[in-house]
Amino acid sequence: MNDEPLVRWDWIARNWDNGGPSAIRTLLESHVVMALLPVVFGLLIALPLGVACARWRRLYQPTAGLMNVVYSLPSLVLFSIFLSFTGLTQSTVIIPLTLFTLAILIPAVVDGLGSVPEHVRQSAVAMGFRPLRRLLQVELPVAVPVVLGGLRVATVSSISLVSVGALIGQGGLGNLFIDGWQRQFPTPIVVGIVLIVLFAILSDGLLVLAQRLLTPWSRARRSAA
Amino acid sequence: MITFEGVTKRYPDGTVAVDDLSLQAPTGAITVFVGPSGCGKTTSLRMINRMIDATSGRILLDDQDVRAIDPPTLRRGIGYVIQQAGLFPHRKIVDNVATVPYLLGWDKKKARARAMELLELVGLDSKLAGRYPFQLSGGQQQRVGVARALAADPPVLLMDEPFSAVDPIVRASLQEELLHLQSELHKTIVFVTHDIDEAIKLGDAVAVLRVGGRLAQMADPATLLSEPADDFVREFLGKDRGIRRLSFVPATGIRLGSVPADLELDEDTRPLGWRSDGGLLPYGTFNPERDSLRAALDAALLSPNGTAIAVDGDGRAIGVATRDVLDEALARHGTRPEKRVPDPDREVPASDPRRAES
Ligand SMILES: Nc1ncnc2c1ncn2[C@@H]1O[C@H](COP(=O)(O)OP(=O)(O)OP(=O)(O)O)[C@@H](O)[C@H]1O
Ligand SMILES: [Mg+2]
């Protein structure tokens, strides 16, 4: 790649929406889907599991242990394991990433519930909340800042891990890296990196915004402290 | 009325927190549980609303065993205030106060209107309603805690060291306000504290507990001060029992003499000072209608000539009490106080001499 310029804008213009499966736009869309669905699924699963782990503490040790083992596996290994079940489909990326997300979000939910001050929990009991309503109206809302913190980590790491799926042909924007390396052509690589970073920044920004809107009481508390 | 009948609480680890406690907290009165740390005050309180269940014995609310009532239902009928206020950090003040009305299924508008009424009742500016708890001072949070406990107008109020986390000045004003609220609302209040002065200031009846969860003595404050049951209670009451007890003797009985000529008055007959060769000397006043014998004595000590000036509600001199007269009053009350055992249906008198103190 000697006298090749770093970015060839004409290549970008031609390939942005060329109608085929390798169009940048198509790759971006599948990247978004494969990165965010695991976070959504992960949150939906982590909420009940985290609540259960916080409620019955002895569940937590084995669950957290298992999740840590999953998390320590290289993503490529997980992808290959699922390859034999789900083949060369998006599920082969989405399912392992959901597991990774769980490894972050279950502890976040447990820690979030643990962050509810004991006097707040006690006064909810004393006011006459029943357990389910107390969970939904007091404990989970107070846990939101910690859970959202976990969600930010899970989202950004999911966005970056999707690229590894390129090695099995399902990597969203990660496919651009393979393309660039194989052809010794830097433009796709740069485009991939820039779009992934922008996507990550945008997602994180939206989560921060959500945090401000959802928990005005917590932002102010931090700035006051 | 809340009745403890031989109530014992043994925790799973074997700790006996409350041991065979029997007592009655009369309707419409403030009953204070006081005692050193770990003596089982919180445990006793929480057995009333079943946050803790007794190991043996019974607790009756009027005539009903609390064990027969579904706990959340029971708790919605009992206000509860704790030391850190326990406000919900994610809810605005108005919604914190409206918590129990919401739980009872009131519609939002009615619940909030009620919450606003209560904020006013506890002396909070209505513009605080839209704030979050962290935006309030400790004293304000504690007031919100009281408002929240009162929101659904429960007949019973449980308070666990509600004022111990605020500074002494705020604490004194919160105590005054509680007494004032109580003179209007006549709740059955059980108040827990480890501060004997607070117990004496607030209690119609005071139950002194000793470590191990046993009742050492239950009496009205004046009796407690003059006749402590044993050394533990005597030591716990601390010094100055004699003089503190005089707070419970109204100054109404003091025989007043006429205003002497050497007391300089302004045109409205308000005292200005005692005349002397070197100018006006300091003086002390008390209001016989409102104040206690202790306040009268204090007023005498402030005057170089030992004479306390009696004033009316507007501060006009209406007479004086010389040291001889005060001695006479002290002699009448010094040995045995009149018993003031709380009567279940008794209302706290509006002119409770304690109120005029501090
Ligand atoms: N959940 C529990 N398990 C075992 N022991 C307990 C438990 N809760 C309280 N205790 C013990 O029971 C005793 C009474 O506790 P309690 O909290 O009622 O005391 P307290 O009078 O309110 O004290 P303080 O003034 O410090 O608040 C203490 O010895 C305490 O250690
Ligand atoms: Mg306690």
- Number of compact structural domains in chain B: 2
Answer yes or no: do B60 and B180 share one domain.
yes
The structure's pTM equals 0.83
- Percentage of chain A surpassing pLDDT 90? 59
The interface residues of chain B toward chain A in range 118-147, judged by CB-CB distance below 8 A, are 132-135
Give the pLDDT of residue A82. Answer: 87
- Smallest CA–CA distance from A139 into chain B, residue: B88
Containing structural domain, residue B265 = 251-334
In a shared domain, residues B263 and B299: yes
Give the mean pLDDT of chain A. 90
Residue B139 and residue B176 in one domain = yes
Best mutation site among B8, B9, B39, B160 for ligand 1, i.e. most ligand atoms within 8 A of its Cβ? B39
The number of C-alpha atoms within 13 Å of A208 and in the hemisphere containing its C-beta is 7
Question: What does the pLDDT look like over A131-170, one tens digit per residue?
Answer: 999 999 999 999 999 999 999 999 999 999 999 888 888 8
Question: What pLDDT, on a 0 to 100 scale, did the predictor assign at position B347?
Answer: 45
**What pLDDT does A220 receive?**
53
Average pLDDT (A23-28) is 92
Instruction: Indicate the helix (H) or strand (E) that contains A28.
Output: helix A24-55
Residue closest by Cα to atom 1 of ligand 1 = B11
pLDDT number for residue A68: 86
Chain A neighbors of B115, CB-CB under 8 A: none
How confident is the model over A65-82, as a mean pLDDT? 86
Whether residue B132 and residue A217 make contact (CB cut-off 8 A), yes or no, is yes
Burial of B54 per CB tally in 10 Å (0-12, 13-18, 19+):
buried
With respect to residue B90, please indicate whether it lies within any of the assigned structural domains.
Answer: yes
pLDDT digits (tens, 9 = 90+) for A213-224: 999 998 655 544
Which tokens in the block code for residue B49?
Answer: 């609303």
End residue of a domain, out of B189, B222, B248: B248
Q: Quick one: B198 and B166 in the same domain?
A: yes
Query: Is B11 a pocket residue for ligand 1 (Cβ < 6 Å)?
Result: yes
What is the residue with the minimal CA distance to atom 30 of ligand 1?
A: B38
Centre a 10 Å sphere on the Cβ of residue B29 and count the other Cβ atoms it contains: 24
Residue B352 lies in a domain: no
Query: Most B CBs within 10 Å: which of A115, A123, A136, as the mutation test of the B interface?
Result: A123
CA–CA separation, A58 vs A69, rounded Å? Answer: 18
Say whether residue B70 is in contact with chain A using an 8 A CB cutoff: no
Q: How far is B87 from chain A (nearest CA, A)?
A: 6
Question: What is the model's pLDDT at position B339?
Answer: 44
CB-based contact B89 A218, cutoff 8 Å:
yes
- The Å distance, Cα B35 to ligand 2 centre, comes to 10
pLDDT at position A219: 60
Instruction: Please tell me the residue having the least CA distance from ligand 1 atom 29.
Output: B38
Determine the pLDDT at residue B357.
45
Segment A51-76 shows an average pLDDT of 89
d(CA B184, CA B301): 35
- Residues with CB in 5 Å of ion ligand 2: B 42
B148 in the same domain as B115? yes
Q: Which atom of ligand 1 is nearest to the CA of B194?
A: 25
- The residue count for chain A: 225
Q: How far apart are the first and last CA of chain A?
A: 53
Residues B164 and B291 in one domain: no
A·B CB contacts under 8 A: 73
Based on the fold, state whether residues B107 and B186 are members of the same structural domain. Answer: yes
Q: B248, B267, B290: which is the final residue of a domain?
A: B248
Answer yes or no: is B205 within a domain.
Answer: yes
Kindly state the average pLDDT of the residues A73-96.
87
pLDDT at A17: 87
Binned at pLDDT 50, 70 and 90, residue A76 comes out as: confident
Q: What distance in Å separates the CA atoms of residue A168 and residue A152, rounded to the nearest whole number?
A: 26
Residue A192: pLDDT over 70:
yes
Looking at residue A167, its pLDDT comes to 83
Closest partner residue to A141 among B51, B90, B148, by Cβ? B90
B-chain residue closest to A122, CA distance: B86
- Residue whose Cα lies nearest atom 2 of ligand 1: it is B11
Do B222 and B123 lie in one domain? The reply is: yes
Contact B83 A119 (CB under 8 A): yes
Q: What is the ipTM of this complex?
A: 0.85
Q: Who among B73, B82, B99 is closest to A119 (CB)?
A: B82
The reported pLDDT for the residue numbered B243 is: 83
8 Å CB contact of B86 and A129: no
- CA angle (A175 as vertex; A171, A178 as ends), nearest 5: 130
Residue closest to B223 by CA, chosen among B332, B341, B330: B341
Rounded Cα–Cα distance for residues A135 and A121 (Å): 9
Which pLDDT belongs to residue B60?
Answer: 97
Nearest to A67 by CA among A7, A128, A150, A144: A150
Enumerate the residues of chain A whose CB falls inside 8 A of the CB of residue B73: 128
Does residue B105 lie within any of the structural domains?
yes
Q: Do residues B211 and B285 both lie within one domain?
A: no
Q: Which residues of B touch A128 (CB under 8 A)?
A: 71-76, 100, 103
Q: A89-96: list long-range contacts, CB under 8 Å, 24+ apart.
A: A89/A170, A90/A30, A90/A33, A90/A34, A90/A170, A92/A165, A92/A168, A92/A170, A93/A34, A93/A162, A93/A165, A93/A168, A93/A170, A93/A171, A94/A34, A94/A37, A94/A38, A94/A41, A95/A38
Give the nearest partner residue to A128 out of B87, B100, B133, using CB atoms.
B100
Q: How many Å apart are CA B109 and CA A42, to the nearest integer?
A: 38
CA angle B159, B162, B164 (to 5 degrees): 140
Residue A3: per-residue pLDDT: 65
Higher pLDDT, A56 or B349: A56
Task: Please indicate, yes or no, whether residues B169 and B215 belong to a single structural domain of this protein.
Answer: yes
Phi, psi angles (nearest 5°) of residue B51: -70, -25
The Cα–Cα gap between A194 and B12 comes to: 60
Confidence of residue A225 (pLDDT cuts 50, 70, 90): very low
Residue after which a domain boundary falls, among B228, B248, B268: B248
Q: Mapping DSSP to helix (H, G, I), strand (E, B) and coil, where does residue A5 land?
A: coil
Q: Does B90 touch chain A if contact means CB atoms closer than 8 Å?
A: yes
Do B103 and B216 share a domain, yes or no? Answer: yes
User: What is the model's pLDDT at position B356?
Assistant: 45
Interface of B with A in 176-215 (CB under 8 A): none
Q: Looking at residue B240, what is its pLDDT? A: 81
Ligand 1 centroid, distance to A92 Cα (angstroms): 54
Q: Tell me, what CATH number does B40's domain have?
A: 3.40.50.300
Kindly identify the ligand whose nearest atom is closest to the C-alpha of B40: 1
Q: Give percent of chain A with pLDDT exceeding 70.
A: 96
pLDDT by residue for chain B (358 residues), tens only, comes to 999 999 999 999 999 999 999 999 999 999 999 999 999 999 999 999 999 999 999 999 999 999 999 999 999 999 999 988 899 999 999 999 999 999 999 999 999 999 999 999 999 999 999 999 999 999 999 999 999 999 999 999 999 999 998 889 989 999 999 999 999 999 999 999 999 999 999 999 999 999 889 999 999 998 999 899 999 999 999 888 888 888 888 888 888 999 998 899 999 999 999 998 888 999 999 999 989 999 999 999 999 888 999 999 899 999 999 988 888 888 887 654 444 444 444 444 444 455 444 4
Q: What is the 3-state secondary structure (H, E, C) of A70-130?
A: HHHCCHHHHHHHHHHHHCCCCHHHHHHHHHHHHHHHHHHHHHHHHCCCHHHHHHHHHHCCC
Q: Is the CB of B17 under 6 A from ligand 1?
A: yes
Whole-number CA gyration radius for chain A:
21
DSSP 3-state of B125: coil
Domains and CATH numbers, chain A: 24-219 (1.10.3720.10)
Same domain, B24 and B75: yes
Residue A136 DSSP one-character state? I
CATH assignment of the domain containing B323: 3.10.580.10
- Window 126-155 of A: residues touching B by CB (8 A cutoff) are 126-130, 133, 138, 141-142, 144
| Distance from C-alpha of B164 to C-alpha of B171, rounded to nearest angstrom | 7
Closest-CA distance of chain A to residue B156, Å: 13
Dihedral of CA atoms B87, B92, B96, B99 in degrees, nearest 10, equals: -140
The torsion of the CA quartet A211, A213, A216, A221, rounded to 10 degrees, works out to 30
Residues of A in contact with B99 (CB under 8 A): 127
